[in-house]
Each structure stands twice: as C-alpha cells, then as structure tokens.
Amino acid sequence: MNTRQRLEAMRARQPAPAGMAMRAAPAASTLPSWPQRVSFCPPGMQERGGECVSSACAPQAHPLIDVARNAELADYERTVRARFDAIVPALKEIAAQQHEAGFEQRAQQIARERLGFELPETVLADAWVTTLDMRKLYGHSVLQTYHTLAREYSARWNGHAEADAMQRFFVECGFHEVDISPCADGRLKGLLQFVLRLPLQAVRRKSYAGAMFDVELNVKHWTETELRRFREGVPTLSDAGTRYLKVAVYHFSSSDPHHEGCAAHGSDDRQAAQAALDRLAAFRTAIENGFCCGASVATLLIGVDTDNDAIKIHVPDANGEMDTACFVDNLAVYRQTAGMAASEARWRLGAAIDEAVRETGRSAPETGMRSLIERLLTNNLSQIDYVCANHGGRYADVGHAERFINLGDSFDVLHLRNLAYFGHLHTIEEGAADVDVGIKIFSKLNVTHGLPVPIAIHFRYDEQVPGSRERAVARCRRIKAAIETRYPALCKEGLLFCGMTVQGKAPGSAQEEVSDIDTNSHGH
Amino acid sequence: MNTRQRLEAMRARQPAPAGMAMRAAPAASTLPSWPQRVSFCPPGMQERGGECVSSACAPQAHPLIDVARNAELADYERTVRARFDAIVPALKEIAAQQHEAGFEQRAQQIARERLGFELPETVLADAWVTTLDMRKLYGHSVLQTYHTLAREYSARWNGHAEADAMQRFFVECGFHEVDISPCADGRLKGLLQFVLRLPLQAVRRKSYAGAMFDVELNVKHWTETELRRFREGVPTLSDAGTRYLKVAVYHFSSSDPHHEGCAAHGSDDRQAAQAALDRLAAFRTAIENGFCCGASVATLLIGVDTDNDAIKIHVPDANGEMDTACFVDNLAVYRQTAGMAASEARWRLGAAIDEAVRETGRSAPETGMRSLIERLLTNNLSQIDYVCANHGGRYADVGHAERFINLGDSFDVLHLRNLAYFGHLHTIEEGAADVDVGIKIFSKLNVTHGLPVPIAIHFRYDEQVPGSRERAVARCRRIKAAIETRYPALCKEGLLFCGMTVQGKAPGSAQEEVSDIDTNSHGH
C-alpha cells in the first residue's frame, strides 16, 4: 500500500468522535459532496506514519499554541464538515425511494434524522409528475445546513467577553477600530476564527475579490466611527490619539503558486500584495486629503498561504509605510521556535520583526503596531500547529471547495475555511466582478456535476430605522432578480439556488428567511 | 378671433427681445421641439388683452417682489428655451441638404451659427450611405446645448457671495445644513433658482421619484456633516445648538389635479404629501434612535403647484411635528397682499402662519423655523409674480416637457422648470423606479415623435481621493450599459442617446466628457 492508497483508506474511515486528537486528513465523510483533490506527497511534504506531513510541521507541540482552543476548533471543523458531507448521501437515499409508496413521509424522516431539517413539501409532492427535483433539494439542503448550524453555534458560542478583551487590547495598541478586508475567496473564510484567532465581534470585515475594497465606502465607515468617538466617546475619546486601522489580506498558495493563488490577480503573489497595498494607500490618502486637522488612519497588509494558513505580516515603518518585500514569514518563525521554551520563542518572534525591518533598511514600527503584529503572529502559530495536527501541515483541498456563495452582508457566525465564497455588495451592478468570480468557481465545483450553485443572499437591517427591514428585504429580492438576469442559462436549468435572509443589527438577532414576493414565480 | 386663436397667433410670433416685459405665453419658437399643450382659458383664468391670465394674478406689481431678479430670470429663461428650441429647425435645415455637394461643411456651418457647436463628424460623413442619422444628431444636440449653456452661465453667474449670505441666514435660523429632496419630476427642476429663490450652492439637493429619498444615504450625509462640525467647527461648532434641516418637496397641479400631479403617487396630492411626511419622520427617527445624546434633525414639508410655482409650506409645531392639513397657501397670501404696502404685506404673511397654526389647533413653530418659513414664502411671492408676468399666471406646458433626463449626480448650473427629469442614483439596479418614470415620460414626449430619449449621465468625483475620478468614469459607463440592457427595444432603435460627464467636487470644476471605452461599440 503506497502513501496515496493509505491516505484514501484513511479518508474512507468514519469521522473520529469529537475530542479525539487527529493528526491526519480532515474528517471526511464516505461520500464527499464536493470535489476533493486527492493528494500525493508533494515537494515540501514527507510521508510519516502513512500520511503526508509538511516538513515544516514540528514533531512536538509548539510552546506558544493554545491547545484547548485548537481542540475546540478541531471539533467544530469536524462537526461542520460532517453536516455538509451528510447531504449528498441522504439525498441519494431519498432519490432512490422516490417512486415508492409513502415516499413523502419517508423522505422527510430521512431528512430529519440525517440532516436535521425538513425538505420543501412541494418539491417532494411534485416528484411523481416527472422526477424529483434534486437540484432544488440540494440547494435547499446546503443553505438549511448552514442556517441550522448557525443557530446551534450562535446559541453555544457567546464571544462577547472575548471580543471586549480583544477590543481593549486593540485600544492599548492605539487602534479604536480594526476593519479587515480579505479577498472574497472561500479559503479565507476562516480568517478571523482560525488564521488570526480574532473574535468575530471584535473587528469589522468586508470581503472583495482580490481584497480590492471600496475606498469610498470605507471613508464612510471611518466617518461613522469618528463621529461616535466625538459624540459618545466610544470606543475612545476623540482626543485619545488612537486611530482607525484598516487591514487588507491577500493570499497565495505555496505549493501551487501559479494556479491556486488569488484568481483576481492572475495567481500572481506580488501583484496581489501590491494591489492591496495600493488600495490601502489610496484609503489613507483619501482620509488625509479629505479631512483636515491631521486626520489619518493606520494600515496593515497581511498575506495568507491558503495551503497551510501561515501568514506573512508586512511590517509598517515608523511612518506607517509598508513594502511588499518587508515582511515576517510566520511559517519560518514556527519552524524556528517549535522546540523552544515559551519565553525564548516569544523573544525569537520579536526578533523576527527586527530582522525584517533591518534587512530591508527600514525604520521600526510604532510600539502599538509592533504589539499588534506580535499578537497576530503568536495567534497564527496556533493555527499553523492546528493545520499540522489536523491536516498534515497542508490542506487536502488546496484549491476551491466552497459549499455556497454568500452575497451581501457577511454572516456573523460559522466561519470556516472553504465554507463559503463571500462577496460584500449592495447591488449586482457594482458587485458584478465579485459575483462573476464566485459563479466561475462554482461552475467548476458544482455545475460540472449537475449540482446548482447555492447562493445565500443576506442583509442586515437597523431595527431602529423605520423601513430599514423592508428595504433589506427588497434588496434581497432585487439582488436575487439581478443574479437570475445576469446568469440566464444557469437560471433556466435550475442551476442557481438563491436563499434570502435578513437579520437585525442588534447582537443576538436571529436570521429571518425572506420569501419570494410571488411564491409561484420562484421557479427554477 | 377667439381667445384660443389669439393665443396661438401670439405663440407663432418670434421670441421677444431680451429685457422686454412679457405678460404672455412663454417665448416659443415657431417650431417647438417637444409637445406643447395648446391651452384655452380654463377655470381660474380669465381672458385679458387676448391672453389667458390667472385670476390670481395681481393687476399691479406686488410690494415684496424682487423686480430686478425677476427680469434677470426672464432673460435667462428666454435664452435657455430659445437655444433648445433652435435645435429642431436647424436639424431640419441640415436634413434637407444631406444629399447636396459640400454637405458636411455646410451642416457644420449651420450648426455653429444656429446652435453654437459642431455636430459629430462621423455621423455627417456616413450620411451618404443610407441617410443622415437624425436621432443621433438630435440626442447630441440636446446634450451639447445643455453643456454649452452650462459653460456660459457658470462663467457668468458666480453665486458664492449670495450662497454664503444665505448659509449665514440658515445658521441664524438654527440650521447648519439644508438638504432638499424634491421629486425627480422635471417641473421641479427650477425649484431652487426660481420657486424658492435659493442659491444653488447654499443647499444640498437630491431628487427622487415621488420625493421618496433614501433614508440610509441621508443618515450618511448627516454623519458627514456632523463630523465636520466636531472636527473642524464648520459650518457651526458642535455645541452651537444648530440642526440639520431636511426638506422634502412634493408637487401637485391645481388645474388638472388628477392627471398632472405626481405620477409616483398616482397624481394624488394627499398621498404625495403624506408619503413625503412619512419619509421625513423615518429619517428623523433614524437619527434619534441611531445616535445618542439627543441627536435630532429638523424637517420641513413643502408642496409646489407646478401650474404656477406657488408653494404650500406645512408648518411644524413647537416639537417639529407636521400635518398635511396644516399649511400656508402662498397663492392666497399673494392675492391678499398684492395691493398692500411692503410692511403691511410682511405682517400679513406672518399672520398667515399664525392662522394656519390656530385653525388646526397646533402649537407655533420655533422662532428660527418661523423665520425660515417667512423667508421662503417671501421668496416664492417673487416667483408667483414672475409666472403672472411671464406666463399669464399659469404655464402653457402644465404637463411634462422636459428636454432630457439627468441621472446620477445633479448638475450644479442651469436649473429651469421642465429642463430635465433628474434621478439621483448610483446604480440602475437600485434607481430603476426613478429611471422607469423618466423613460415613460420621454416615451410620450420624444419616442412617439421618433426622437430619442437624451440621457445625461453625470457623476462628481473627489480630486483628493486616489482613483475617485476613474471610479466615477467607470460608474458612468456601467450606468450607460445598464440602461441599454434595461431598455433593449429603445436601444436597438437608436431611441436612447446617452452622454456621460464627470466633474470634480471643487467649486468651479469643469464638466469633462466621458467617452465609451471602445468607441466602435457606441452604436445605437
């Protein structure tokens, strides 16, 4: 049995029970519902105990990692993946019984038991006419799985205390707001919870294809934040000397740099980094030129290796300027510090920042920025270790393997690598580039297999603004109509499945499903 | 010769020379380029000296009117109308010569002499193949006429001193910003310069079909305004106790209330007023609920009779609340005060406010709000007198007679009744309702006569924000493409003519024409 055969045999096993330590491939169901890259041990990985393990993976636990949190996240990842992986087998079983007596009751029973929710009655009832509309059932099941999981986890995880602590730390570093724009790519969907280990409520996030965030919209958010400081002294007083920090996050693939990097930048790492850097500079200039009295913002550029979640942080100089060539490679820090005592490892991590600065002949960052960088690097060490422990140091799904597309506002629970492609937008007219990339990804992932593209349209509304909910609902429907107009061929074949939800802005608000205006015109 | 025949005979005369007093129909060319309602003396008007004159028109000059400004505006209106009215005769003359030798040179000569600009060379050069593309020439000429006039008047009129004085007056009244949202209807296009006599630079304005302004966008503008006050003390210090004033302007037609009122509200005056009032209340609630520490805004509702430009101002009570039933009818004030001495007329105008309040059993408005209302009513008396003097007390074109559609941002010069239908929008996806109304209007005005709908797409950009100009240019092109997609039949027939311009935000910036990306794909 060669390594590859062993790996496949491993994959065929049942998911390990929650809490069990795993140093192997991700918990995979017997019938994965989306294409998986069957990997062999590529350069930079080595066979160990029948598995491919990255040669960067430390043989023992790293001194700075959060072991408890890693176990919790592993359990979470397994649960979420298993729930999505259950969809195709369950639907196959249902499909096989569609011409039997009592089919509808039996189908709902299978769905309840194996998926945790019911299927749309009308689809089941109409099966006898021609055949069961599996596309509709699949689209429905993917989005329902998400919503069911979101409900479970939002009740279970209440990260407000953690978020408050993190925000206090940001303020200590000199930042009263941290606003992150990653690429829309689904491989960055775990950025906050996994890669950077930041509580979701502690930062603002808006994803765009290629991390090409909207400068004007960001100026608006800056304005809102500053006004709250002046009017309410929240989160800091207007004279506190703290700043708004804008972070752009690009990505690359170390094992397949020319194919699995950022599609929006032609899988060219340098171009992806430079474009994000230029956009950050444009935002900073917009604030500095547009507002008087020394208005400015801090900026930070981070790169993520989507193969293993290791980050590069580009170190700003004393003036806040960055360069694509001046960064700390956290995978190198992980390797260097793996065998050390915690205090020594911490010193080494700080030294890596100094070295990056010295090697490129630049000035050192401000103290607060330096503290933030140290925290992010330390947090990310836990994630590098997590990928070593749970994914052999490199994800099996190096490329795209998203389950659905999320358009509009971001969901505030359930973040996980390759869970969803997320495009932040208010209209398809302006967000078309982001949606096109998403549809292209899912054409390969789903449409080639006859499966529809599940699209979750989601908007937040302000309960305190009259008509805000109605406008969010109208926006959902308008976006859905615009998608169906933009991709008529997919729409006609039933290869688009759009779900719509709105949610109040107040913490703890539930997601509310939005129906089509005329349920008869839903048709796929 | 009956009144109607006399009126038509009058219309056939050449426009009166500039400066000459006119108490008749508007200066009309011999060949009007858009449909005109041939009117007879309807109820409320009487025949006087061969003309229909509103029975509300005072026989002598009113004591409170700005005679000099009225003369200036009459001259301006005649000039603008004459320039647009010259288009069709000039194009007819050019069309008649299209098969003659030296046509291209001759056509350009006619265009230069009679229209003041040249025609697109390629259109003239291609005439020999089939026939001259009159639709393209007409669309081009309408938009060029606008741009030529805008250049002339922006050089001639520099209203900054006047605007500064008006802003100081607003601040004295307790308002540091005045933001007006009229209906998109072209009959309100002269709202600021004519109806309310407010300098264009003194107020913010954004038009929407039915005056249904965007609450969220307005909250954003409020936020920007407040931040400037806190950061820069402009226009007032944050503790000055002044407020942001939002004005909504609906409209109605006294002579044909069920047909020539606001189309967006089914020509139902009461519904138009109530809907605008509800939107104002929603905005105020959004600010009061969304921001702490007593944040609030002032609101004001104004109705315009588009037959004669007389306004109704709905008087807010001491708490700023309004009612559709509590208003001052300025046409009544005009009639009552026409024969009075100036001081007596001023007292009478103030008394009209007290009476409106008393009759509906409401409390009186705050002093500052009262001063503002008095100023607006006084200003509007000049306009009522203007319509009496120049249009016999009622416009000949009671209905729609717009020359073009303006989409995006508003042009900041050249405002005139029925000049343009203006829809403030950033995407066709969200602004579709506004554009549909505009296209419907022009289907009757132009398309039924075989003429295209001229659409001027215009966006402002911030010279200080990197990439802002490029994004404004891209937005122009995106809007144009979206319009062509939304109205494929019109587009195919060459019945849509889109021009695109961008303009910097700095005062005095020129309008810059935007070309299609690929000039070959321009095609109509």
Q: Under DSSP, is residue A249 helix (H, G, I), strand (E, B) or coil? A: strand
What is the band of A62 on the pLDDT scale with cuts at 50, 70, 90?
confident
The partner residues of B496 in beta bridges, in order of sequence, read B453
* Residues of chain A found within 8 Å of residue B286, distances taken between Cβ atoms: 462, 464-466, 468
Q: Is the pLDDT of residue A327 over 60?
A: yes
What is the band of A4 on the pLDDT scale with cuts at 50, 70, 90?
very low
pLDDT value for A41:
60
Round to whole Å and give the CA distance between B64 and A224.
44
Structure token digits, residue A331: 């995978």
* Residues of chain A found within 8 Å of residue B464, distances taken between Cβ atoms: 285-286, 289-290
Q: Is the pLDDT of residue B301 over 90?
A: yes
Round to whole Å and give the CA distance between B334 and B348.
10
Least confident of A16-20, A62-66, A211-215: A16-20
* Average pLDDT over every residue of B89-105: 94
Q: Is the pLDDT of residue B522 over 70?
A: no
For chain A, give the percent of residues with pLDDT over 70: 88
Counted across chains A and B, CB pairs separated by less than 8 A come out at: 106
Interface of B with A (CB under 8 A): 215-216, 219-220, 223-224, 226-227, 230-232, 238, 281-282, 285-286, 289-293, 295, 426-430, 462, 464-468, 471, 478, 482
What is the band of B4 on the pLDDT scale with cuts at 50, 70, 90?
very low
For chain A, give the percent of residues with pLDDT over 90: 79
Round to whole Å and give the CA distance between B336 and B348.
8
pLDDT value for A30:
39
In angstroms, the separation between the Cα of residue B76 and the nearest Cα of chain A is 36
Contact B465 A290 (CB under 8 A): yes
Q: Is the pLDDT of residue B43 over 80?
A: no
Q: What is the ipTM of this complex?
A: 0.86
Alpha helix (H) ranges present in B23-133?
A: 67-85, 87-96, 103-115, 121-125
Q: Is the pLDDT of residue B421 over 70?
A: yes
What is the band of B40 on the pLDDT scale with cuts at 50, 70, 90?
low
Neighbouring residues of A357: CB distance < 8 A, sequence distance ≥ 6: A315, A317, A326, A363, A364, A365
* Average pLDDT over every residue of B255-270: 95
Structure token digits, residue A156: 């279970």
Q: Is the pLDDT of residue B60 over 80?
A: no
pLDDT value for A3:
43
Choosing from A85, A133, A179, A185, the catalytic residue is: A185
Structure token digits, residue B198: 């407010």
How many other CB atoms are found less than 10 A from the CB of residue A17?
A: 8
* Average pLDDT over every residue of B416-423: 95
pLDDT value for B58:
62
Pairing of strands A511-513, B45-48: unpaired
Least confident of A147-156, B267-276, B380-389, B452-461: A147-156
* Average pLDDT over every residue of A492-503: 97
Q: Is the pLDDT of residue B62 over 90?
A: no
> What's at A3, amino acid-wise?
T
pLDDT tens digits for range B159-214: 788 999 999 999 999 999 999 999 999 999 999 999 999 998 899 999 999 999 99
pLDDT value for A52:
67
B426-524 domain in CATH 3.40.1190.10? no
N-to-C CA span, chain A: 47
What is the band of A344 on the pLDDT scale with cuts at 50, 70, 90?
very high
Of residues B128 and B19, the one with the higher pLDDT is: B128
What is the band of B57 on the pLDDT scale with cuts at 50, 70, 90?
confident
Neighbouring residues of B289: CB distance < 8 A, sequence distance ≥ 6: A464, A465
Helix (H) or strand (E) holding B220: helix B215-232
The partner residues of A46 in beta bridges, in order of sequence, read A53
Of residues A456 and B160, the one with the higher pLDDT is: A456
pLDDT value for B55:
72
Neighbouring residues of B416: CB distance < 8 A, sequence distance ≥ 6: B76, B77, B80, B81, B189, B190, B193, B194
Round to whole Å and give the CA distance between B171 and B235.
8
Q: Is the pLDDT of residue A266 over 90?
A: yes
How many other CB atoms are found less than 10 A from the CB of residue A324?
A: 18
Interface of A with B (CB under 8 A): 215-216, 219-220, 223-224, 226-227, 230-232, 238, 281-282, 285-286, 289-293, 295, 426-430, 462, 464-468, 471, 478, 482
Q: Is the pLDDT of residue B24 over 50?
A: no
Decide: A87 and A33 in contact? Cβ < 8 Å.
yes
* Residues of chain A found within 8 Å of residue B429, distances taken between Cβ atoms: 427-429, 478, 482
In angstroms, the separation between the Cα of residue A150 and the nearest Cα of chain B is 27
Contact B465 A289 (CB under 8 A): yes
How many other CB atoms are found less than 10 A from the CB of residue A87?
A: 24
pLDDT value for A141:
98
* Average pLDDT over every residue of B257-286: 96
Question: C-alpha B77: how far from its chain's center?
Answer: 13
Nearest to B220 among A220, A281, A292 (CB): A220
* Average pLDDT over every residue of B33-44: 49
Contact B466 A231 (CB under 8 A): no
Of residues B42 and B510, the one with the higher pLDDT is: B510
pLDDT value for A82:
97
Give which of A465, A475, A483 to mutate to test B binding, by max B Cβ within 10 Å: A465
pLDDT tens digits for range B345-369: 999 999 999 999 999 999 999 999 9
Round to whole Å and give the CA distance between A510 and A314.
38
pLDDT value for A227:
96
Round to whole Å and give the CA distance between A305 and A312.
8
Of B272, B136, B254, the closest CA to residue B210 belongs to B272
* Residues of chain B found within 8 Å of residue A427, distances taken between Cβ atoms: 427, 429-430
Round to whole Å and give the CA distance between A328 and A278.
20
* Residues of chain A found within 8 Å of residue B290, distances taken between Cβ atoms: 462, 464-465
Nearest to B482 among A429, A462, A465 (CB): A429
pLDDT value for A413:
82
CATH 3.30.1330.140 boundaries in chain A: 404-524
In angstroms, the separation between the Cα of residue A81 and the nearest Cα of chain B is 36
Cα B45 to Cα A49, B3, B195, B330, distances in angstroms: 100, 12, 21, 18
Q: What is the mean pLDDT of chain B?
A: 89
Contact B429 A478 (CB under 8 A): yes
Nearest to B231 among A293, A464, A482 (CB): A293
A409 among known catalytic residues? no
Angle at A431 between CA A427 and CA A434, to 5 degrees: 145
Round to whole Å and give the CA distance between B368 and B378.
15
* Average pLDDT over every residue of A459-472: 95
Of residues B160 and A75, the one with the higher pLDDT is: A75
* Average pLDDT over every residue of A95-113: 95
A404-524 domain in CATH 3.30.1330.140? yes
Contact A215 B295 (CB under 8 A): no
* Average pLDDT over every residue of A37-55: 63
How many other CB atoms are found less than 10 A from the CB of residue A263?
A: 18
pLDDT value for B34:
39
What Rg, from alpha-carbon coordinates, does chain B have? 23
Q: Is the pLDDT of residue A504 over 60?
A: yes
Three-state SS string over A305-359 comes to ECCCCCEEEECCCCCCCCCCCCEEEHHHHHHHHCCCCHHHHHHHHHHHHHHHHHH
DSSP A304: E
Angle at A486 between CA A481 and CA A488, to 5 degrees: 90
Q: What is the DSSP string of A341-404?
A: -HHHHHHHHHHHHHHHHHHTT-PPPPHHHHHHHHHHHHHHHHHHHHHHHHHTTS-S--S---SE
pLDDT value for A11:
41
In angstroms, the separation between the Cα of residue B135 and the nearest Cα of chain A is 28
CATH 1.20.120.1310 boundaries in chain B: 61-157
CATH topology of domain B61-157: Four Helix Bundle (Hemerythrin (Met), subunit A) (1.20.120)
CATH 3.30.1330.140 boundaries in chain B: 426-524
DSSP A183: B
Question: C-alpha A237: how far from its chain's center?
Answer: 32
Q: What is the mean pLDDT of chain A?
A: 89
Helix (H) or strand (E) holding A166: helix A160-173
Round to whole Å and give the CA distance between A331 and A347.
16
User: What's the whole-model pTM score?
Assistant: 0.88
pLDDT value for A157:
64
Phi and psi at A60, nearest 5°, equal -120, 170
How many other CB atoms are found less than 10 A from the CB of residue B136?
A: 20
Give which of A216, A237, A429 to mutate to test B binding, by max B Cβ within 10 Å: A429
Q: Is the pLDDT of residue B137 over 90?
A: yes
* Average pLDDT over every residue of A63-85: 95
Round to whole Å and give the CA distance between A261 and A268.
7
For chain B, give the percent of residues with pLDDT over 70: 88
* Residues of chain B found within 8 Å of residue A219, distances taken between Cβ atoms: 465
Q: Is the pLDDT of residue B129 over 90?
A: no
Round to whole Å and give the CA distance between A106 and A94.
8
pLDDT value for A40:
52
Q: Under DSSP, is residue B350 helix (H, G, I), strand (E, B) or coil? A: helix
Three-state SS string over A437-464 comes to HHHHHHHHHCHHHCCCEEEEEEEEECCC
Angle at A8 between CA A193 and CA A255, to 5 degrees: 55
For chain B, give the percent of residues with pLDDT over 90: 79
Round to whole Å and give the CA distance between B394 and B24.
10
* Residues of chain A found within 8 Å of residue B465, distances taken between Cβ atoms: 215-216, 219, 282, 285-286, 289-290
Round to whole Å and give the CA distance between A92 and A82.
16
Give which of B287, B297, B429, B460 to mutate to test A binding, by max A Cβ within 10 Å: B429
Round to whole Å and give the CA distance between B186 and B198.
18
Nearest to A482 among B231, B429, B464 (CB): B429
Neighbouring residues of A54: CB distance < 8 A, sequence distance ≥ 6: A44, A45, A46, A308, A387, A388, A392, A393, A394
Of B438, B437, B427, B521, the closest CA to residue B482 belongs to B427
Q: Which residue has the tokens 């930070």?
A: A300
Of A266, A279, A126, A142, the closest CA to residue A213 belongs to A279
Choosing from B85, B133, B179, B185, the catalytic residue is: B185
N-to-C CA span, chain B: 47
In angstroms, the separation between the Cα of residue B232 and the nearest Cα of chain A is 7
Round to whole Å and give the CA distance between B389 and B379.
16
Q: Is the pLDDT of residue A249 over 80?
A: yes
In angstroms, the separation between the Cα of residue B306 and the nearest Cα of chain A is 29
Pairing of strands B327-329, B404-408: unpaired
